[in-house]
A and B are shown apart, each in its own frame.
Chain A
Amino acid sequence: MKKLRNLLLVLLVATLLFGTISGCNTYSGGSTSTPDQSTEPTSSGTDNENDDNGSGTEQPTVKETTFTFVGDQPNTLNMILSVSNIDSHIFYLTSAMLFRPYDGVSYPEVCEDFTVSEDKTVYTYKLRDAQYSDGTPITAEHFAYYLLARLDPEMGSPMAADLINTYGFLNAAAYNAGECSREDVGIKALDEKTLEITLERPIATFDGKLDIYPLREEFVKEKGEALGGTPDDLEYSGPYILKEWVLDGYMDFVKNPTYIDADKSFPTTNIRMVISSDHNTRVTMFENGEVDCLMNVGNDYLDILKDYIEHNPGGGHQAIQFNRLNQDPAKAAILGNKNFRKALSYALNREAIVAATNPSSAPLTRLVSSNHAGIREDSLFTEDFTPNTVPAAGDVNKAKEYLDAALQELGYSSVSELPTLEYLTFEVPTYRLIAETVIDQWKQLLGLENISILLLPVPQAIQAMMTYDYDIYYTSLSSGDDPIEILSMWVTGGTVNDITGSGRNLFENEKYDELVAEAIVTFDRQKRMELLAEAEQIILEEGPIEPLIVDGIYYAVAPYVEGFVYSSDYYQFNYLVVNK
């Protein structure tokens, strides 16, 4: 008995301690604005009655509705240092915009009206009355500061080059290089309601509809390093206010009554973004009805959710990059040899590779991907122009021909004489699988055995790429909104082409540079697209990259959600209604 009693005593103490510990409330879930999250299937719904929600854009703002979805946690909400479009998804919700893009079209928001000068270099915007959530009015100065801060060389913004390349504001490059002062830059607030933008030269792809946010200099200075870290370190002028951000847990947004178009759009009153990095968990939450939408459904679960998923094509490009600037002259010769590259490219059956490794993506055999507009705004570039390039299923015979030609040119009598080449890629599961598949296909179809895979964490891999310390690199590039964006990365001195800025370019082609330079200033849309198509053909033939895959994404939306629009840059909940 004594033994038993002592045993029980020990157990009791342990249980008490256990109980105390578990009583700690570190839980990240119980918020009053959301319905009870349990494992019961679907709609426990909100407490309020459902009105008859048609599909109209006008919603009574009294009713409380919540939209819960799984999304990616923003890296930072510091507008100046933000570099990823994951962050811009949130800015779209928390900040007012000069022009707000929705479903592919830009609509004026804070901008009432704008005029363009004759030579298309000066844009003058007239602003409406708008305010931040604390009542402070939004002025033109704030929009100007947003751009200027990102161009300021002392503020460390990584997007400066992007802004300069895309818009080419007057003296922006000089300012960023520290050669002139802020006042000299062609971004000025003429008065409280007038913003004037001056470009160095007219840009054909710029329609004047700047999707920029207002940013207050005093606020930025006050917050310092803490800017954008927590809900208190943000300014709110947009449709929603970030009420709570539990790190790695969720973000709660509540409708902002002071938003300029509060009564015309964003009918859902509460938004909860759940943060979960595990695909399995996300899918389970969707199946349980805990979330209404998944912004990204993992490849393994497409079958399970097949009734709810939609596909959005057109994401980043993945391509195989050959380093012709390799330090080893023998390797440099091989990697710079056009026939060698073509051999490796034609040997790959992109369709099969995509189906096996990443079904949400699509094969890519050219540089411009399938969601870019073409000759007309409603046509697709990829349909208007078909380059002469590798077929999506590959062509093994042609590949072998190319390989023979390459070996002959380079002076090798067989494939086994080639020096060992290293294939560098990121330490990410999908990339690893693609690497293994690609290498093996080359081995089986071309007999190329001297290739090894080097898997490195992202920073080390990119560092190696930036120091030209690789043979073959599996690169991933964003495709941008317009064909010109990706093509201008490869001009002499372009971002990817001359990544160290030292003047060594992976791709040097005068004709290509000419075509792109001309396209930038060609306002005739059709002519511009034709120039770009020609440039694309050149780089596909002579360039150092062989495109392989274009990312796509599958998202899942519950059937009771209306007005859902998917965008790769923004959470466009403008007319989203949850009919639970």
Chain B
Amino acid sequence: MAKKTYDLLFKLLLIGDSGVGKTCILFRFSDDAFTSTFISTIGIDFKIKTVELRGKKIKLQIWDTAGQERFHTITTSYYRGAMGIMLVYDITNEKSFENIVKWLRNIDEHANEDVEKMILGNKCDMSDKRVVNKERGEAIAREHGIRFMETSAKSNINIERAFCELAEAILDKTSGRESAENPERVVIDRKNNDKAPGYNKCCA
């Protein structure tokens, strides 16, 4: 009976090194805006955005985490409730890419086992400063069996698509669970890690 304007609520989390653009990605997605001044996130912020996928209104609650190292331990306590996690690195920052492995380990240790993951190589508009080529991003994603996309919050490249794709992957899982309750329907095993990252139709 409570006020409910959506069919499903998905909790998503943005993690990655400080300065890779997590807050900008969120700001672009929620407010369709960009600011180039860097303000370090000291804590956890969230924004909500409702999208429509397959006729369902899905409210995304997106948590933006502090990237600074001193907060790494404390931010891991926020992983637990997340249904989807975006791991963000900066294509102009080698170290942030190398740390993806560290972030993945963090997820393994602290997040729910069935959390949907996606790697984002942000700042892809800055091609002259690029130090991590796209193939390396794809390779690491393939290696871990997760989705990958290069994005630019500044030029609005792939931002909406990334969130919708992650939400859609969660939706697949949720509906998989629903059908599990219905014995007449066959449950598709979604844990197939060999599956190439899907580029499904995105909500627009």
Please say whether chains A and B are actual partners in one complex.
Answer: no
